[in-house]
Each structure stands twice: as C-alpha cells, then as structure tokens.
Chain A
C-alpha cells in the first residue's frame, strides 16, 4: 500500500463537557478523494479546524507528506502544502479575481514591498493557469463581489490550486450550488484528485457517493466506519446511525 499523504492520528477535542472529537484517525492516500460525512453536530467542523490548525486539539497528531504539522499554525500549514477551501467563501471581495488568485500564487511570501506584483510574469502564469483550470479564465478582471455564488466556489478552489498543495481540505464545496453548479464542481474535483488527494467534507450525498474513493463516517465525534462507497452503503452501523434504516439498498 502507498504511503498516505495526510495522516490524522488520535485527534481528540472537548469543549468543557462536550466531546467534539474522540480519538479520530484517518488518512488520505495519493490520488484519492476521501469523503468525511456525518450528521450535523458530529464534529466535522472541529476536525477540520484541528487539521487546518485553526484550533489546537487536546490530543493527536497531523502529518502531511511525512512532516509533523501538529504544533504549526494555519499559515504555516498552508505553506507546508495544505490547500483548503471554506464552507462560506472567504475571498477579498473588492479585488479582482486575478488578484485573489495571485495572492495564493505568492506562496506565503508577502514581504516584497517594491516590485509591482501584478506585473510579475511568473505569478501571473500560476494564477492564470489555476483560473483556467477551474473555468474562470474569462473572469480574471472581474471584481470578485460581482461573481455568482458558484463562480466564487470555483475561485476558492483555484486559490487552493495556486498553492500547489500536497493535499486539499475542502469544506462543503457544493454548499448552495444548484444542479448545474454541483455537476460542474463534481467534474472539477474528479479531475483534481490526480493533482493532490482531497479530504472532502460534504453534505450532498449524491456527489459524495459519485466522487469518493473512500468514505469515513463521523458520528458523535467518533469515526464509526471507513470504506469504499459500496462498503459504507452496506455497513449496518452506518445505516442505523446515519443513513437511516428505511434507506433501502
């Protein structure tokens, strides 16, 4: 078996009496989409925050490509190659689409004070090709606030791409997208997995079962099952806890 790119080991996090994550372990192998599903309040957001560095877990480690990320903050994890997208778009709305993408292309090196950044051919090339990859090449000069909701989600993915990440961490990229948008995003993610594996948190079950190579199910802060979509469909625990018994095979 190939070495996993992202390894989460034994992550636990409690808020007072509430246990949000309990001994969660999962890994992300090269070339795969690994979906994380679970009912609301199962602890998905906490787990994402622990992986991305937004909060410090009580226990557990996170490794990316063999490197221990555990003590690092969000910015350092991004530089180490963790490309993430947000559930609610976090974009510089007053800037152009190309400027947003260029920001990612900086690769965390922001302390250059004199050279005009938008005339840097190297950066522009990285930014443009990421935009082309998600289908936004025609909108480079558009003000980000003027993009449609679906286009903003695509831009999120494009910015993550400019980081040339080793792994993607995507928080509900389909949220709020219509049928057409979901179809486009599904196609995009499908093609993206060869670039870097994707840890995908998503509520849209059709998309999850169509895209994912493996699925982990998080219930009450614990992973109750990990397996291929077919295995997860058949798993009695999952059916009881999450899919509901009445969901016929």
Chain B
C-alpha cells in the first residue's frame, strides 16, 4: 500500500478514535473541538477541489462559508420567531430541519459560486486572487449593513437544528453527522479526482493549451470545479453555524478565507486528506498555543512562512513524499 494511503487511513482513524475516547472519558469539550476541526476540514475539502485540483487560487471562499452559515441562520431565525421568510409570490417558512438547511446551503452557495466564478474566471492568475478576495469582502460589508439579520452583531439561534432520529444537542451525535458529511465529501472528491473531469481539470492546471487542443474548454472545467467547491464550503458553513448556534459577518471576513486556505496548504495542496490534516493541526495549535501565549498567531505565521519557504507540499508531502502519477 502507498504511504499516503496509510497516512490517510491514520488521519481518518484519528478523527474517529479521538471523539470516541472523549465520549467515554466524558470530555465534551474535546468532542466539540474535534467537531470544529471536522467542519473546517470540510470547508477545506471544498476549497481543495478548486485550489488543489483546479489550480484556482481563490481567496474568497469565505463568501460561500458565510452564505452556508446564513442559510442556516436565516431559516432557523424565521422558524424560531414563527415568521415566514416571504409571503409573496408564495409562502416560504423557516425551518429547523438540518437536511433542508443543508440543501438550501448547498444550492445557494453553489449559485453564488457560479456567478462569482463566471465573473472571476474571465481573468486568471493574480487578478483572480484579487477578485475573489474582493467579492468575499463584498458579502462581508453587505451583511454588516443589512440590519434584518443582526447586521454587524450577527444573530443567535437558541436551539441547535434537528435531524430525524438523532439528538443533535448531544455532542457525539452532532459530531457523527459532521463526520459522515466530511467522509461523504471526501468520497465525492476522490471520485471526481479519478474521473474524466478530474483528469481534464488536472491537465488544464498543468497545460491549458493541451486541454484546449483535445477539444475541452478550460474555463468550463474551472467554472464547474469552482461551483462544486463553493457548494461544499457552503455546506461546511451551515454546519459551523449550527455548531456555534450563531452566525455573524465574521464568517465572510477575509481572515476566514485565509484560514481555509491555510488548512489546505498546511496539509498539502491537492492531497485528498490535506485539508483534513491541516484543519486538525490548526485547531490543535489554536488550542495549545493559545494557552501558551496570547500572541499565538505569531507562531502560526512563523510556521506557515517556514512551510512555504522550505517545506513545499505540506505535511502530507513531508511524510508521504512526492505525489505519484497514478493510473
């Protein structure tokens, strides 16, 4: 078996074993921490599809994370205040049902990614980075100045949303949901990676001319990858909001985009489990370093800088070596 496969199995085993241990040892805080890591990992898995496979350096994925979050916030807000979202042209009620919220989060963030992608992909390279960053910021300022859903203060949802047959207030049960979604997204991405689409997308990253000359338009590939990527990150946003029972414009901030990107790169760009390992390390560092120093971002910055300058390929690259061309 390849070393990366073993490593991937170990990472997933860790994501199962740690919360199980915490559950038996009655350490709900550890479960919540792992849940946070799993959700942020999911956001990273989404970004990795655009960034790792597609080579699209998006610094605006906070937009989709935030849209997912507000999809949950808005629906749950209307459900808890017993006010409909709209009455015309037809009645739309709020909901506290997770599956419905997830679906809405997926669709709205996919639509946003489609529009932002269609505009941003008219350009490439450094323009693309700046434009995605700017669109993320646009949502941030819009949410701050739109008072209906809390404006700058955000809004709280009193009770976590429900899932048929589960008690989502129990940390381990909510974690199980998040883990299943993460695993599902990983399965989906791995299928895409090995599909005709994945092949063409990877080829377009390495040589756009090659792809064009076999009759495939790189921009169409990129737009689909960006849309799927945004949808997955949006789903993560909905879960993140449910974890905190709180949404605020911070979800849209450029730091959020930067952090999601950090997960991906810390773990290893384009590696299937790169964002998962990256998010886990990030959360662990946040937890431990925050206890050591108030200024832990300095250490994080130094580590990141060291990784970029000296250890390209991320942690998975360090441990498992160069990616092999598999067929």
- Is any CB of A less than 8 Å from a CB of B in the complex? yes
The answer to whether A94 has its CB under 8 Å from any CB of chain B is yes
CB distance from A229 to the nearest CB of B (A): 29
The answer to whether A113 has its CB under 8 Å from any CB of chain B is yes
Given A112-B197, A115-B195, A117-B194, residue A78 in contact with residue B213 (CB < 8 A): yes
The answer to whether A46 has its CB under 8 Å from any CB of chain B is no
The answer to whether A104 has its CB under 8 Å from any CB of chain B is yes
Pairwise interchain contact A90-B214, C-beta atoms closer than 8 A:
no
Given the complex of chains A and B, what is the CA–CA distance between A114 and B326 in angstroms? 17
CB distance from A15 to the nearest CB of B (A): 21
The answer to whether B196 has its CB under 8 Å from any CB of chain A is yes
Pairwise interchain contact A118-B194, C-beta atoms closer than 8 A:
yes
Question: Interface stretch among B30-38, B132-140, B216-224?
Answer: B216-224
The answer to whether A79 has its CB under 8 Å from any CB of chain B is yes
CB distance from B169 to the nearest CB of A (A): 36
In chain B, residues 162-210, which have Cβ atoms closer than 8 Å to a Cβ of chain A?
Answer: 191-192, 194-200, 202-203, 206-207, 209-210
Pairwise interchain contact A117-B214, C-beta atoms closer than 8 A:
no
In chain B, residues 21-76, which have Cβ atoms closer than 8 Å to a Cβ of chain A?
Answer: none
Given the complex of chains A and B, what is the CA–CA distance between A92 and B209 in angstroms? 10
The answer to whether B215 has its CB under 8 Å from any CB of chain A is yes
Given the complex of chains A and B, what is the CA–CA distance between A20 and B325 in angstroms? 42
Given the complex of chains A and B, what is the CA–CA distance between A73 and B215 in angstroms? 9
The answer to whether B212 has its CB under 8 Å from any CB of chain A is yes
Given the complex of chains A and B, what is the CA–CA distance between A162 and B214 in angstroms? 9
Residue from B191, B203, B215 with most neighbouring chain A CB atoms (10 Å): B215
Which residue from B202, B221, B327 sits with its C-beta under 8 Å from A118?
Answer: B327
A111 CB contacts on chain B under 8 angstroms = 196-197, 220, 224
Given the complex of chains A and B, what is the CA–CA distance between A160 and B206 in angstroms? 18
Pairwise interchain contact B207-A90, C-beta atoms closer than 8 A:
yes
B207 CB contacts on chain A under 8 angstroms = 90-93
| CB-CB nearest in chain A for B228 | A113
The answer to whether A106 has its CB under 8 Å from any CB of chain B is yes
Given A75-B215, A86-B213, A99-B327, residue A114 in contact with residue B202 (CB < 8 A): no
Pairwise interchain contact A113-B217, C-beta atoms closer than 8 A:
no
The answer to whether A141 has its CB under 8 Å from any CB of chain B is yes
Given A93-B206, A94-B206, A95-B202, residue A163 in contact with residue B195 (CB < 8 A): no
In chain A, residues 85-133, which have Cβ atoms closer than 8 Å to a Cβ of chain B?
Answer: 86, 90-96, 98-100, 102-104, 106-118, 120
| CB-CB nearest in chain B for A90 | B209
20 A–B contact pairs at CB < 8 A?
A73-B217, A90-B209, A91-B206, A92-B202, A92-B206, A92-B207, A93-B207, A99-B203, A99-B327, A107-B215, A109-B196, A110-B200, A111-B196, A111-B220, A114-B192, A115-B195, A117-B195, A117-B198, A120-B196, A163-B214
Residue ranges of B at the interface with A (Cβ–Cβ < 8 Å): 191-192, 194-200, 202-203, 206-207, 209-217, 220-221, 224, 323, 325-327
Residue ranges of A at the interface with B (Cβ–Cβ < 8 Å): 52, 73-76, 78-79, 84, 86, 90-96, 98-100, 102-104, 106-118, 120, 140-141, 143-144, 159-160, 162-163
The 10 closest A-B pairs by CB, nearest first: A108-B215, A79-B215, A78-B215, A110-B200, A90-B209, A92-B206, A92-B203, A96-B325, A117-B196, A112-B196
